[in-house]
Amino acid sequence: MSEAVKNKIPVGISACLLGDEVRYNGGHKRHSYIQQTLGQYFEFRRFCPEVDIGLGIPRRPIRIVREGEALSVVDPQDESDHDYAPALAETADAQAQWLKDMSGYILKKDSPSCGMERVKVYSGGMPERSGVGAFAARVMELFPELPLEEEGRLGDSVLRENFIQRVYVYDRWKHMVASGLTLKKLLDFHARHKLILLSHCQKTYRDLGPKLAKVNKAEVDAFAADYVYDLMKALKKPASRGDHVNVLQHVQGYLKNDLTPEDKAELTELIARYQDGTVPLIVPITLLNHYFRKFPDEYIANSWYMHPYPAEMALQNAI
C-alpha cells in the first residue's frame, strides 16, 4: 500500500455523492469516480446541510428566489415563503470546527444549498443560472483558501487535475503550519511550489518572491495568512498548455550543460508536441524525470511540479 493511500487527505463532500439517500426525492447521486478512485486517496467527511437544518427525507425541493436585490431560499409550495438561507449559512458556521481541518470540499452541482456556481435563481417564475448555494457561499466566505469543486466539473480533465493539485498543495500547507511555522519552513515551501505557481499565474509568481524576501521572523505568522490566500487564489486558474510549456522550458534549462545535442533535440521536440496537443503532459514530464535521475539537481528534485500528486492517479495522462 502506497503512502498516499495510507495517509488519506481529509476532504468534505456532499453526502449524496457518496450514495447517501438524502436528496429531496429520497434518492442519491453516487459518483463512482469520487468514491472508487478519489476515495483511495481522500478521507471523505460527508455532510448534507438541508438534512442538518431539519428538512425531511423526502421533502419538497427548495429553490433560490430573487426579489429586487434580495435573494432567499424557499419552498415554492409553502405559502409562508419561509427563507432557509439564514439556516443554511448558520449550519456552515456550526460546522466550522471540522471544516477547518479539511483540505478540500466536493459539492453537489445545481443545489440551492451546495451548488458552487450557476445555480438556478428564480425571478418572476423564470430561472437564470447566476446563483451560489447558500451553504456553499458561506463555506467559501469562511474558508476562502479551501479548494472547492463540483462533482459535475470533475468530468473535465483540466478542472479535475486543477482541483486535485490544489488539494495536495493545501494539505501540504496545513501539515507545515501544524508542525510549527517558521520562516525557514515558509521559504522552503515556496521554493518547492514555485514552478507550480509559475504554471498557473506568472503575476503572483513575480509578486510573492520579493514579498517573501522582505519578511523577517517576527512577521512570518501575519505574512503567512496573506501568502496562502494569494497562493490558493492563483492556483484556482487552471494552467494552460502555454503555461506548462513555459515551465517545461524553464526546467529544461537546468539540463543545458548535461544533455547531448540529440537528447536536447528530443526533449525540445516532445515539449513542442505537448504544446500542439499531440502528446499529454506526462510525456515530457516523464522524459525530464528520466534525465534528472541521470543528472540530479537538488532544486528540481525537491520541486513538487515534477510530482504534484501520486503518479497512480494518472492525471497528467489526460491534460
Query: pLDDT truncated to tens, each residue of the chain (319 aa)?
Result: 566 677 899 999 999 999 999 999 999 999 999 999 999 999 999 999 999 999 999 999 999 999 998 999 999 999 888 999 999 999 999 999 999 999 999 999 999 999 999 999 999 889 999 999 999 999 999 999 999 999 999 999 999 999 999 999 999 999 999 999 999 999 999 999 999 999 999 999 999 999 999 999 999 999 999 999 999 999 999 999 999 999 999 999 999 999 999 999 999 999 999 999 999 999 999 999 999 999 999 999 999 999 999 999 999 999 9
Q: Which three cell numbers stand for residue 69?
A: 436585490
Query: How much is the pLDDT for 125?
Result: 85
Query: How much is the pLDDT for 176?
Result: 97
284-290: long-range contacts, CB 8 A cutoff, minimum separation 24: 284/248, 285/248, 285/316, 288/248, 288/251, 288/252, 288/255
30 conformational bin, left if phi > 0, alpha if psi -120 to 50, beta if neither: beta
Q: Are 147 and 107 in contact (CB under 8 A)?
A: no
Pairing of the two strands 63-67 and 70-74:
antiparallel
Instruction: Classify residue 16 by its DSSP letter.
Output: G
Query: How much is the pLDDT for 313?
Result: 96
* Cβ contacts of 32 within 8 Å, gap of 6 or more: none
Q: Are 22 and 57 in contact (CB under 8 A)?
A: yes
Q: How many whole angstroms separate alpha carbon 11 and alpha carbon 32?
A: 16
* Cβ contacts of 280 within 8 Å, gap of 6 or more: 274, 316, 317, 318, 319
Q: Which of 261, 104, 98 is nearest to 167 (CA)?
A: 104
Q: How many whole angstroms separate alpha carbon 130 and alpha carbon 231?
A: 27
Q: How many whole angstroms separate alpha carbon 199 and alpha carbon 233?
A: 13
